[in-house]
Chains A and B, each alone.
Chain A
Amino acid sequence: MEANDTPPHVRLGLSRQRLIAGLRTMIASRETDDRLWLLNRQGRAHFVVTAAGHEATQLGCAWAIRVGHDYVVPYYRDMTLVMALGQSVLDILLHAMARRDDPSSGGRQMFGHYSSRRLRIVSGSSSVGSHLVHAAGLGLAFRARGEQGIAVMGLFGEGATAEGAWHEGMTIAGIHQLPVVFVCENNQYSISVPLHREVPVPDVAMKAAGYGMQGVVVDGNDVFAVYEAAHQAMERARNGGGPTLLECKTYRLRPHSSADDDRKYRSREEVESWRARDPIKRFEHYLVEHGIITNEEIEALRREVRAEVDAATDAAVAAPYPPVESIADHLYG
């Protein structure tokens, strides 16, 4: 053990209030995820892409972002992240059920395509990896404007690191030492293809060397490790220190999406072993152990979140679809 046995939340300056808000976001994300699968089975949500298992990675990253100041270029798995940045359970459900008031797309995009100009969450397509060049371009924009103290976080799965657009985004960010933090949420599968068939090196972070940036590996199920690394990387970026590739090793606890059956490519033993390492349980255990919250308070929090999810479900189900007359709106400015 290191001589410094200060608990990580103290060392990292995370207040009780922030920790509990973070736990609430994690729980809200998982409960919303649960609800979405149910709504999918009921035929009310045509598509679910899960965030379950990625909650610590995404919360740790969200804590490192100055909301509405830094840009975030997310991918389809980042539900916990966007909730931590300010999208509500209702926002998520309106998006999943393609309602008019879906803040991400007004019912146009399939679930998982989060966007908010106000929160500086950049709209994405489903074309994997295509968004990291946008992250690099934002970095060029700050430089052209002479703006400092601002950074971009671009997030993706490890599967995206095989894409040409990912390589080009990394190349441009590395050449110009742009203020971009590339976060790889490595859950070890691109749908069914295992890591050794999608990434030629043991750690995605090793790729960073080829792009002139630091590569960092953290346990993606440890919210403090993620936050510490993400915070350092974002601060380095904001202060002119250039880009970072941050790899968060994690696991998705559910099939890739509602259209996937993961029994064809993952053993139940493997899934169960990761379920035992559930990042939410781990965070709860830590908070209880350090006297931040009690188990009773966590249960109360969970009940409160469930009530919110119930109310949001009712509201989203009752919410109107976009009118057919709007189908061609916003094609041109």
Chain B
Amino acid sequence: MPVMTFIEAIRSALHDAMAADDRVMVLGEDVAVKGGVFLATEGLLARFGEHRVIDMPIAECGIVGAAIGASLHGLLPVAEIQFADYIYPAIDQILNEAARFRYRSNGDWSCPIVVRAPCGAGIHGALYHSQSVERLFTSTPGIKVVVPSTPFDAKGLLIAAIHDPDPVIFFEHKQLYRSVRGDVPEGIYREPIGKAAVRRSGSDMSVFSYGLMVHHSLTAAEELAAEGVDVEVIDLRTLAPLDRDAILASVKKTGRALIVHEDVLTGGIGGEIAALIAEHAFEYLDAPVRRLASPDLFATPFADPLEEYFMLNPQKIAAAMRDLARY
């Protein structure tokens, strides 16, 4: 099985999905001739032509809106928002339009689009090239929110998203693009949307995370293992719909829960997970539920020391794990 980086897995998913189904199309800024600013769409134009791989003007509402329109005629469009930071002009299209097409037409229409958006900090992207915005999309029904952490999942979940009957917002952490590698099968395969994955089985506490923070949590968990604390790391993979069963099963087993995400603390998905545990697993808890998240700022500032302070890392996560283990 080939070993791929995360970005190669995304590219492989797009190539294979487009080759397997001529309803799949890709549209976004710089996606065709340039192959995307991160090269996620490299090679698609030469292979599939300008009618299926479309360079769009700088018009995020138009990119997502055009994807919606194309989906109404039976296509499976994959729209790229160049950075998650620029998704705001498309929010009306995502939340007011794509999410509601099926509901508002009583099941007559549907809108099977994917909106891919690179997200996350730690690459000196400052206020407008490093945001985590998933919290803006997890409280509206009708859409699904997927955040993969491994190359294998990136491909399998993206292919599943393309064929999902509902709109899927697909966040890709930029720091993962070239920093993680893994086995990725050739050809089409799908990972299930809405299912979490146990990345490290453990008995002393549950850590719920997604995206880049899964890797940092796993590093921290190894540190804790050396100290005699057995940490279970759950990769949520999908934030909407949340895999409630997996969350509750894990916390009932370990009795302790730490939620780790790069999105900000207030309004981040961690609050929802904490409430879920409080409502349905309170009697199983040996300690209060803890959240570790980015500070309540817009994104990381540009200055190096501020970015370092802003970002979560394995040391900070290990400290939070120790604190929770000691409770």
Contacts and interface: CB of A to CB of B under 8 A. Distances in A.
Contacts, number: 146
A73 B68 CA distance: 13
Interface in B43-88: 51-52, 54, 56-57, 59, 61-62, 64-75, 77
Contacts of A133: 61-62, 64-66, 68-69, 93
B102 A333 contact: yes
A141 B97 contact: no
B97 A125 contact: yes
Interface residues of B, number: 45
Interface of B: 25, 27, 51-52, 54, 56-57, 59, 61-62, 64-75, 77, 89, 92-93, 96-97, 100-110, 112, 141-142, 164-166
A140 B93 CA distance: 17
Contact of A332 (B59, B108, B165): B165
Interface in A99-127: 102, 104-109, 113, 115-117, 122-123, 125, 127
Contacts of A315: none
A123 B59 CA distance: 22
Contacts of B65: 130, 132-134, 136-137, 165, 168-169
A144 B57 contact: no
Contacts of A104: 105
B75 A105 contact: no
B67 A130 contact: no
Nearest to B64: A133
B59 A172 contact: yes
Nearest to A137: B69
Given A130-B65, A137-B66, A165-B65, A125 B102 contact: no
Contacts of B54: 140, 176
Contacts of A137: 65-72, 77
Interface in A155-202: 164-165, 168-169, 171-172, 175-176
A117 B104 CA distance: 12
Given A138-B70, A140-B27, A125 B104 contact: yes
Contact of B57 (A139, A143, A175): A175
Given A104-B105, A117-B109, 4 more contacts: A123-B104, A130-B97, A140-B27, A141-B71
A146 B67 CA distance: 17
A132 B110 CA distance: 17
A268 interface: no
A331 interface: yes
Contacts of A136: 62, 65-66, 69
Contacts of A263: none
Interface core residue of A165, A169, A171 (most chain B CB under 10 Å): A165
Interface of A: 71, 73, 102, 104-109, 113, 115-117, 122-123, 125, 127, 130, 132-146, 164-165, 168-169, 171-172, 175-176, 329-333
Contacts of A175: 57
A139 B75 CA distance: 12
17 contacts: A106-B107, A115-B105, A115-B109, A117-B105, A122-B72, A133-B64, A134-B72, A137-B67, A138-B73, A140-B69, A141-B75, A146-B51, A165-B65, A331-B103, A333-B102, A333-B110, A333-B164
Contacts of A135: 69
A11 to B, nearest CB: 34
B103 A330 contact: yes
Given A165-B62, A331-B103, A130 B57 contact: no
